[in-house]
Amino acid sequence: MLYSDFKTALDLINKNRERYTDSEKADLDVMKTKILTEFGLYDEAFKLSQNLISNPKLTAEQKLKIHVERALIFEINDDAKSCLQELEKAANIFLVHPELKLKNYTNFLIRKSSYYRVNGFSKKAYDLANEAKEYAESVNDQVNMPVVELILGLGNRKTNPQKELQHYQRALYLYKKLNHNEAIISMYHNLSFFYFSEKDYRMSNIYIDSALAMASKSNVLNYKADIFQMKSDIMEKQNKSDSALYYYKTASEIYKEFNNEQRDLKVKELGLQYNFEKERSEKKQLQKNISNTRRFTISLLILLFGLLFFLWMQNKYRKKIENQRKKIAQKNEALQKNLEEKQFLVQELNHRVKNNLAVILSLIGFQKDQADNEDYKKRFDELYQRIKTITIAHELYSYNVNHNDDSYIEIKRYTRKIFETHFSSGNRNFSYDIDMNDIQLKVDKTLPLGLIINELITNSIKHAKPESDLLSLFFKLEKTEKGEIVMDYNDNGTEFSFDIKNDSLGIFIIEGMVKQLKGSYTREKANYKIVFPND
C-alpha cells in the first residue's frame, strides 16, 4: 500500500483474511476500505466502512482511521456535511486518545485541509496545510511530508505560481527519497500540468516525458492513462496532430483497461460479500438449531412422545427451508448476473459518450488550428465552449442503472466549472464572483441554464469595456418562496456594444434556452435577469 500497488495488497487481504484474529481482521478491513477507495469503488468502500463502524470491538485507532477514510469517501462524492461530521468524530477521538496523534495526526490535518479547499475556504485550507507541515516536521513524518507539500502547492494555484512550483518540486524531491515510483510519476504529471497551464509547453513536455520514461514501472492504470492524455494535450498545443492522436488513443486504451479492472474487482467484491452474508446466515441458523436442540433434549425428560412429534416436524421444516433456500439462491444468482450485465453496459455506454464528446472537442481544436481566418477561429472557440458546457453537465451526471430521469445536478459546482473553462481558455483575463446557495436542479433544467451562462460569459468577454483593466463578472442564483429560480448576471463594463448580426446565434440560444426553461428574461445593456419555475 505504501508504494501504491493496491491490486497486490487487495489480493493478499482477500486470500489471507480468515487466518487472523477478529482485531487483526478489522485492521485488514480498514486497509481494504482505503484500497477500494483508491480503485474508485466507492459504494463497496462505504459498505465495508459501515460494517466496521457497527463493530463494537473496534479499537480507538481503528475507529480513527475509518472515520478519516469515510471523510475522503464523502468528499469525493460531494457530501460536504457528512465529510465534516466524520472529521469531527476523528477530532473527538484525538481529544480522548492524544497518544494516537504521533502516527495519525498529519494525515488527519491533510484530509481536513482538503475538505476546506474543495468547499471554497482557501485561507482555512492553506493554514491547515501549514499546520500539517509543522507537525510532520516535528515528528519526522517522512511518509506524509510530500503529500503536505503537494497540498501547499494546490493552495497557491492561481495566486502565487512561483510558490506553487516550489512546493511541487519539493514534493517530487521527497518522493524520490522514498523511492515511491507511483508518486514520482504523479508529481511529474502535476509539474507538467503546471507548465501547461502557464503555456510553457517546452517545460511541460520535459516533465511529461520524464513520467513516460517511468510509465513501465507503474501498476496504477489511471495514473498511467493520465500521463498519455497529458502528452496528447501538449502535442495538440504544439500543432503535432499525428502525435496528439497517437497518445490520445494510447490513453483511451489504458482507461479502458482500468475500467475493465474496476469491473472485475467489483464482481469479486460482490462475490466475497455474498459468501460473507451466506456464512453469517448459516452460523445464525446453526446457533438457532443448537438452541432448539437443547430445548428438545430437556423436553425428552418430560415427555418422549412430544420429542418424537417435534423431531418429525423439525425434519419437515428443514426440508422446506432447504428447498426455499435453493430457490432463493438460484434467483439471487440470476438477478446478480443480470445486474452486473446491465451495470457493465451502462458504464460502457457512459464511457463511450464521454470519449465521443472528448473526440469532438479535439476535432474542433484541430479544425480551429488549421483555420487561417480569425473570425472562423473565434467561431470555433465559441462552438468549443458550447460543447464543453454540455460535456461538463454530462460529467457531473453519473449514469447508473439505479438512476432515473429525476436525477439532480449541483448547480454551484456546474457553474464554477463553466466559469473556470472560460478562465483557463486564455481569451481574456477576468475575475468572477458566484453567489448562490446549494441549489440542485434536474438534468432537463441544468443543461439549458448552463448554455445560457456560457453565452453570457462569451458575450462579456467579447464586448465588455470596463473602466479598470480587469473585467469582472457577477453571477447570482437563488430560490424564491414561490418555488421559482431567479438568475442575475452582469459585468463591470461601462459601454454596451452588441452586434446583432454577428451575435444572433448567441441571442437565439439564450432566447431558446429561456423558452425551454419555461421562463422569462429582461435585459438592460449587459445586465440580465432570468426567472423560471423550479418544477
Look at residue 276 in the predicted model and tell me its pLDDT: 58
Total domains in the chain come to 3
Q: Which domain holds residue 529?
A: 404-533
**Final residue in a domain of this structure, among 370, 389, 422:** 370
255/216 same-domain check: no
Look at residue 267 in the predicted model and tell me its pLDDT: 77
Q: Say which CATH number the domain at 464 has.
A: 3.30.565.10
The model carries a pTM of: 0.50
Look at residue 346 in the predicted model and tell me its pLDDT: 61
Is residue 311 in some structural domain?
yes
Is residue 141 in some structural domain?
yes
Q: Which of 78, 141, 81 is nearest to 106 (CA)?
A: 141
Joined grid coordinates for residue 455: 453565452
Is residue 382 in some structural domain?
no
195/282 same-domain check: no
345/437 same-domain check: no
Look at residue 7 in the predicted model and tell me its pLDDT: 84
Query: How are beta strands 484-491 and 471-479 bridged, if at all?
Result: antiparallel
CB 232 within 8 A of CB 251: yes
CB 49 within 8 A of CB 88: no
Look at residue 110 in the predicted model and tell me its pLDDT: 93
In the predicted model, residues of the chain with pLDDT beneath 70 are: 272-284, 286-287, 290, 343, 346-347, 350, 398-406, 495-503
Please list, residue by residue across 80-89, b when 16 or more beta carbons sit within 10 angstroms of its beta carbon and e when fewer do.
beebbebbeb
Joined grid coordinates for residue 499: 452586434
Is residue 396 in some structural domain?
no
CB 221 within 8 A of CB 261: yes
Is residue 381 in some structural domain?
no
Is residue 233 in some structural domain?
no
Q: Say which CATH number the domain at 207 has.
A: 1.25.40.10
Look at residue 3 in the predicted model and tell me its pLDDT: 77
Look at residue 362 in the predicted model and tell me its pLDDT: 87
88/119 same-domain check: yes
**Final residue in a domain of this structure, among 227, 260, 293:** 227
126/17 same-domain check: yes
| Model pLDDT for residues 90-143, shown as the tens digit of each residue | 999 999 999 999 999 999 999 999 999 999 998 999 999 999 999 999 999 998
322/469 same-domain check: no
409/287 same-domain check: no
CB 455 within 8 A of CB 510: yes
528/487 same-domain check: yes
Look at residue 427 in the predicted model and tell me its pLDDT: 80
Is residue 385 in some structural domain?
no
CA–CA gap between residue 87 and residue 64 (Å, rounded): 9
512/430 same-domain check: yes
What distances in angstroms separate CA 80 from CA 45, 86, 118, 505, one per listed residue? 18, 10, 9, 39
326/440 same-domain check: no
The rounded mean pLDDT for the chain is 87
| Model pLDDT for residues 24-56, shown as the tens digit of each residue | 999 999 999 998 888 888 888 899 999 888 888
Q: Which helix (H) or strand (E) segment is 57 a member of? A: none
472/337 same-domain check: no
CA–CA gap between residue 376 and residue 371 (Å, rounded): 7
221/253 same-domain check: no
Is residue 378 in some structural domain?
no
**Final residue in a domain of this structure, among 347, 370, 393:** 370
Look at residue 42 in the predicted model and tell me its pLDDT: 86
